[in-house]
Amino acid sequence: MIKIELTDDEVTTMMVALDSYGAQKRIEWLDSRDDDDLTESGSAEWCWQKLFGFQQDFRNSIADAIGEGEQPNNTTNASVDPFTLPTRSTYEDMK
C-alpha cells in the first residue's frame, strides 16, 4: 500500500489533467482505431473516478467535522407532513 498526501487543490489539478488526457486519447482513437488509445482513455477515467471518490470522502469528512448542513434544534424549523394535517372533515370530528 502506498500513502500519498495531497491537498484538495492538487487532487483537483490531477483530475483535470486525467480528464484532458482521457479526452485526447478518445480523439486519437477516432483517427487511429488503435485499441491501446481506448485502453489508456479508460485507465485515465478509472484513475479520475478513484480520485473523485477520495476527494468526496475527504470533503464529507470535513463537512461532518464542522457540522455543515446540520439544523439547529429549533421547533420552528420542524418539518410537517402535509398528509397528516387535518382536513375539514377530520377537523369537524376533532371538535
User: Rounded to two decimals, what is the model's pTM?
Assistant: 0.62
Residue 89 lies in a domain: no
Supply the range of the domain harboring residue 46.
Answer: 1-66
pLDDT tens for the chain, residues 1 to 95: 888 899 999 999 999 999 999 999 999 999 999 999 999 999 999 999 999 999 999 889 888 888 766 655 555 555 656 566 555 555 455 55
Residue 56 lies in a domain: yes
Cell numbers at 32, concatenated = 487511429
Distances (CA, A) of 10 to 5, 13, 16, 22, 68: 10, 5, 10, 18, 23
Could you tell me which residues come within 8 angstroms of residue 48 by beta carbon, excluding any fewer than 6 positions away? 15, 18, 19, 22
Count of domains for the chain: 1
